[in-house]
Amino acid sequence: MGNKKFVEAITSRDEDFARWYTDVCIKAELMDYSEAKGFIIYRPYGYALWENMQSFLDKEFKKTGHQNVYMPLVIPESLFLKEAEHVEGFAPETAIITIGGNEELQERLIIRPTSEVLFCNHYQKIISSHRDLPKKYNQWCSVVRWEKTTRPFLRGSEFLWQEGHTAHATEAEARKEAFDILDIYNRLGKEFLAIPFILGQKTDKEKFAGAVDTFSVEALMHDGKALQSGTTHYLGTGFAKAFNINFQDKDGELKPVHQTSWGVSTRLIGAVIMVHGDDSGLVLPPYLAPIQVNIIPVMQHVAGVLEKAQAIKLMLEEKNIRVSIDDSDKTPGWKFSESEMKGIPLRLEIGPRDVQNNQCVLVKRLNREKSVVNLDELVDMIPNILREIHETMYQKALDNVQLNTKETNDYNEFKQIISKNQGYVKMMWCGKRSCEDKVKEETQATSRCMPLKPEKIGEKCPVCGDEAKHLVYYAKAY
């Protein structure tokens, strides 16, 4: 890497967003490519982001009565073929084991692209009475979907995720589950990632293969493209019928269960990079950040400096703040750049004079705001500063969504706006697949979702002139 500064080494965000993105992924040491195309290595700093998201979500899932399980990595082909729509959606992207223990397998094994059929097959065995319901299971694992064009975190042949699979006695209860989880995803965005999501329902064209209804949280990236960041599905009784998952209800009748499934993935790491990052690298929201305060001693060879840095670290760690000290032999300037590249929310500089004056310098990653802080006040201040940074980041991202959400009742205007790549465009829709297809063909924009809170900005579908049924958020998307 020589002596070049980190900041010189990455592409400018507005010059080439795609290259900026992969530069950040690599330079912030989030990931590396592996020898198998489309399969990435999650390096410690990138994996720590995922671990922190896991810890937020796992707590919420358990609090709401979900239990973790682990289903097999593989699905026998005959099992995979049981639910027709589901197969149609996933079969083209599967990876298949044909050899095991040096022998050709009698039945091919699909590496799970998602595990609906495995859960269904298990539920069929363990559910027989209303007493067995609801079943609210979740699993943390990786899945494989064969992809031709791949991008770190956003689209890969393997990714890490959680997949929830639940079975309920009634439609109402299952639908509530799909909404409750969407709310947890939304809070993950708001409280943890500082990302404002649009919550909505997918059109039939965009919904999950095998679902009755799909709901999603959508985020807007800095380049004006949208990113589907999490989905929940009300599956109805389709899987239950294909897999014979019936229960004897209180009224004595045998009924199929109503199911949901839902998931978020390491894609969210991509969202964090593209919503908050800048030309100096990552900018991490404080609650997500694996390191919240990076202490950089200045003139660290002078007696007392490193000792004081250590003392500050211990003080902060007692308050559960995640702290590191960079006492390597790099120059302070290099360390500053590296700390910025890694998006650490606060940099704390301390040199000999600071030690004398019982103070340090705090620099916010977000806006490089500097302040001199008395060391006696530091420990009480930091949690507040981190909260403020979180709120500022969320507000900034929200402002960006609002600034880049347009609405129109004119299809030509729609095309013009979309061509500028500036975020969401709201437009009414008749509900016909043909209009949705036309929009996609002519503009590359896809319907992101129909917002959960119904909005109405016109009477007609601007594409065909028929009566409008829904408002749709359109955008070009990852």
Q: Which residues bind a copy of itself (CB under 8 A)?
A: 32, 34-36, 39-44, 47-48, 50-51, 67-76, 79, 91-102, 108-109, 111, 118, 121-122, 125-126, 131, 137, 141-142, 144, 146-148, 157-158, 160, 328
* DSSP code per residue over 300-345: TTSTTHHHHHHHHHHHHHHTT--EEE--SSS-HHHHHHHHHHTT-S
DSSP state letter for 177: H
- CA angle 339/342/344 to nearest 5° reads 65
End-to-end CA distance of the chain: 31
Residues 6+ apart with CB under 8 A from 380: none
**Closer by beta carbon to a copy of itself, 72 or else 465:** 72
Alpha carbons 362 and 288: distance in angstroms, whole number: 19
Cβ-based nearer residue to a copy of itself, 91 or 464: 91
Residues 178 and 215 sit within 8 Å (Cβ to Cβ): yes
Q: Which two tokens stand for residue 172?
A: 């109402």
CA dihedral defined by 78, 71, 57, 40, rounded to 10 degrees? -80
Beta carbon nearer to a copy of itself, 71 or 430: 71
- If the CB atoms of residues 34 and 358 are measured against a copy of itself, the closer one turns out to be 34
CB of 122 to a copy of itself, least distance (A): 6
Q: How far is the CB of 425 from a copy of itself (least distance, A)?
A: 33
Strands 346-350, 293-297: parallel, antiparallel or unpaired by DSSP?
parallel
Closest CB 327 distance from a copy of itself, rounded Å: 12
Tokens 């692209």 locate to 113
Q: How far is the CB of 15 from a copy of itself (least distance, A)?
A: 27
Q: Are 194 and 394 in contact (CB under 8 A)?
A: yes
CA distance 52 to 229: 16
CA gap 92, 178 in Å, rounded: 27
Q: How far apart are CA 428 and CA 430, in angstroms?
A: 7
Write down the least CB distance from residue 378 to a copy of itself, Å.
25
From CA 86, how far away is CA 238, in angstroms rounded?
A: 10
Residues facing 347 on adjacent strands = 294, 363
Q: How far is the CB of 275 from a copy of itself (least distance, A)?
A: 23
Least distance CB 85 / a copy of itself (angstroms): 18
User: In sequence order, what are the residues at sequence separation of 6 or more whose Cβ sits closer than 8 angstroms to the Cβ of residue 41?
Assistant: 31, 32, 33, 34
Q: Name the residue among 183, 187, 165 with its Cα closest to residue 174.
A: 165
Task: Give 153 or 424: the residue with its C-beta nearer to a copy of itself.
Answer: 153
Nearer to a copy of itself, 34 or 331 (CB): 34
* Shortest spacing between CB 39 and a copy of itself, in angstroms: 4
Tokens encoding 17? 């967003």
Nearer to a copy of itself, 48 or 379 (CB): 48
> Min. distance of Cβ 62 from a copy of itself in angstroms?
10
How many angstroms separate the CA atoms of 336 and 343, rounded? 11
Closer Cβ to a copy of itself, 55 or 444, answer by number: 55
The two tokens of residue 130 are 């209303």
Question: Which of residues 126 and 299 has its CB atom nearest to a copy of itself in the complex?
Answer: 126
Of the pair 95, 379, the CB lying nearest a copy of itself is at 95
Minimum distance of a copy of itself from residue 50's CB (angstroms): 8
Q: Min. distance of Cβ 333 from a copy of itself in angstroms?
A: 18
Closest CA to 271 of 215, 207, 216, 204: 216
Which residue lies nearer to a copy of itself by CB, 92 or 333? 92
Amino acid (one-letter) located at 275: V
